Structure formats: C-alpha cells, structure tokens
Amino acid sequence: MPEGDSVWKLARRLDRQLAGHAVVRSDFRTPRLATRDVAGRTVLGHDTHGKHLLTRLSGLAGSPAATLHSHLRMDGSWSTLAPGKRLPGRVQPHVRLVLTLDDDRTVHGIRLHDLDLVPTDREHDLVGHLGPDPLREDWDADEAVRRLRADPALPLVTALLDQRRMAGLGNLWANELAFLVGVSPWTPIGDVDVERLVGRAATMLQHSATVDGAYQVTTGSPVRGDDHWVVGRQRFGCRRCRGPVSTAEEVAGDAANRFTWWCPACQPGPGPEARVGVRPGAAAARPRRSSRSSRDRR
C-alpha cells in the first residue's frame, strides 16, 4: 500500500533510472497540463515529502528549474520502458504523462493524481501544508509532537493519518502503531505518550524504507502473513495473543476514518463508536476483508 516509505523507495528507483538524462519529448495527458512541455530539461533527481513525489528538472534559457509533482494515492505508478517496448493496451487509457529520454527509453506516469508542474522555488505551494517527514533531512520530531498534541481529543489513528501533523504514515502504519502502543485506535491522542509514539513511528518508517527485506514489516519477520501484528489478520487472529482481530469498515470518502484493525484484548480503550464525525451505529465492527478505497488527508 502506498505510504511514505513506498514513495521514498520509488524516488530512489527513479533516481537510478532517470537522473542525468535529458527529456527529448513530453506528452501530458491531463487537460490542465496538456499544453505544457518539459522537452530539453534534464532530470536532476527526485525528492519526497510524505506521499508526494517531486521530480526536479533543470532550467532552460529564460525558464527556471521546474518540479513535476505527483501523488500516487492508492493506484498510481511510474514505469520506465526500454526502447521499442510498449505498455499493455489495458493500461494505456490510464497514462497521464509520457517522457521520452535521450536514450530512447520512455517513462510513463500511470493513474497519477494531483499532477502539477511548478517552478522549483514554488514547491512549498504544493507541499508546504504537510507535517514533518521522518524520511527527509529536515525531519523535526519536536514539531511532529507539537502538531499531534494540538488536538488532544482526536483519536490516535485519525491523528496519525492526518498528513498535516506528521507526513508519511498511512493506514498500515497507523493501525500497527496503535497496536504497538497497546491502546485502541480510537484512544485520544492526548492520552498517549506522543514523544515515544513519534520516535517509534520515525524509526519504523526509516527502517522500512532503507533496510533490505524490511519494507512494511512491523513484527521483525518478513514471512508473508507473519509480517504484521493485526493488519490483514482478521482471519488468523492477533499475532501476539492469538485472540480475534476486529475490524471496522471505512467511512466512504472520509479520510479520518479508514478501514481499521485492532485486537480488543491487547488494545483496550474506546471502540469505533468514538470515530470522529460518524453517527452512532454507523461504524460497527465487522470481521471481514477490507476494501480500502478512501483517501488519507494527503
């Protein structure tokens, strides 16, 4: 699932594939950018802030350096193809951007969301609202703590999903962190040791992004089905106590209330009735598979 570590790893892959290469042709297939052209610019590299990808391009005569901004949400991807290779026909309608490089490779942005092209010195207009990101050099743990504490009544999982407070944590990390803290996902954030929570979250996200074999593993075991404490384990039970894992459906279109997993035995505290902005009875726990389609506060 695309979270901050997913996008960070994507940026490193794209650096290896694209950095230093010039764009000889560009084709934006989204109405707002249809007339824009980045041909002649060189790919300088990639940066991330939370779940946002920033592709930096060199300037041209009379035109400043530019940044191509994209958000993957749940279904976006980037694909680099060797000369003469083509994407499958079923994917073609979803292509939003094609870049042809100086070695005849083609780069396809597929199902990209929030696609923007701005001068690099205006990146802040697009990502300035985001909270501190543990995967950035300017990571500020104290600021993340301050922002998470700003609304102490907010449920833990809701606060962690709000990218304006701390960027990069998605639904998997929010649910697993609630388990590791030992409280219900809907425990007020003010009742939690936020400094310890932020430290653990940062360490886990950094470990996931940078250590081979550790990607989105929260238990220490990379074996599929054994890599998470509660997420995806509604059929298998809690990895710690082996008791049942409960789930609560997402609230459609509500970024604060995603599909949630928790172990009632290991995570005491409020149930889904404490969800923010949800009428009583609308978020009953259900022991079945998720259909995770709603968006984070990006």
Catalytic annotation, pick one of 41, 51, 165, 298 = 51
pLDDT, one tens digit per residue, over 149-190 is 999 999 999 999 999 999 999 999 999 999 999 999 999 999
Which one is catalytic: 41, 96, 147, 258? 258
Distance CA 198, CA 92 (A): 41
Sheet holding 106-110, edge to edge: 23-28, 95-101, 106-110, 77-81
DSSP string, 57-101: E--BTTB--EEEEEE-TTT-EEEEE-TT----TTTGGGEEEEEEE
> Is the CB of residue 132 less than 8 Å from the CB of residue 142?
no
- Evaluate whether 63 touches 119 at the Cβ level (below 8 Å): no
**What integer pLDDT is reported at residue 1 of this predicted model?**
55
pLDDT at site 278: 62
User: Could you confirm whether 258 is annotated as catalytic?
Assistant: yes
What amino acid occupies position 114? D
> What is the spatial distance between Cα 103 and Cα 83, in angstroms, rounded to a whole number?
8
The reply to whether 233 belongs to the active site is no
**What is the predicted pLDDT for the residue at 286?**
45
Q: What is the DSSP letter of 47?
A: E
Pairing mode, strands 260-262 and 23-28: unpaired
- For residue 79, the tally of other CB atoms under 10 A from its CB is 13
Check if 273 is active-site. no
pLDDT of residue 106: 98
For the chain of 298 residues, list the mean pLDDT of each consecutive stretch of 10: 90 98 98 96 98 97 95 93 96 97 98 94 97 98 98 96 97 97 97 98 98 96 95 96 95 81 97 76 42 42
CA distances to 47, 101, 278, 289 from 283, rounded to whole Å, are: 37, 49, 7, 15
Q: Cα–Cα distances in Å, from 231 out to 104, 162, 167?
A: 42, 19, 20
Q: Say if CB 35 and CB 113 are below 8 A apart.
A: no
pLDDT of 257 reads: 85
| pLDDT for res 290 | 32
Q: In the annotation, is 3 catalytic?
A: yes
Cα separation of 11 and 19, whole Å?
10
Q: What are phi and psi of 116, to 5 degrees?
A: -140, 155
- Residue 187 pLDDT: 97
**Cα separations (Å) of 297 from 31, 52, 76, 168, 236?**
24, 12, 16, 11, 30
| DSSP character at residue 265 | T
For residue 240 the two structure tokens come to 């710690």
First to last CA, the chain: 14
Distance in angstroms (rounded) separating the CA atoms of residues 252 and 137: 35
Residue 254: its pLDDT value, please? 74
Bridge partners of residue 162, in order along the sequence: 297
Question: Of 244, 258, 243, 169, which Cα lies nearest the Cα of 209?
Answer: 169
Other CB atoms within a 10 A radius of the CB of residue 93 amount to 9
Is residue 66 within 8 Å of residue 38, measured between CB atoms?
yes
Q: Report, in this order, helix, strand and coil percent for the chain, each rounded to 5.
A: 25, 20, 55
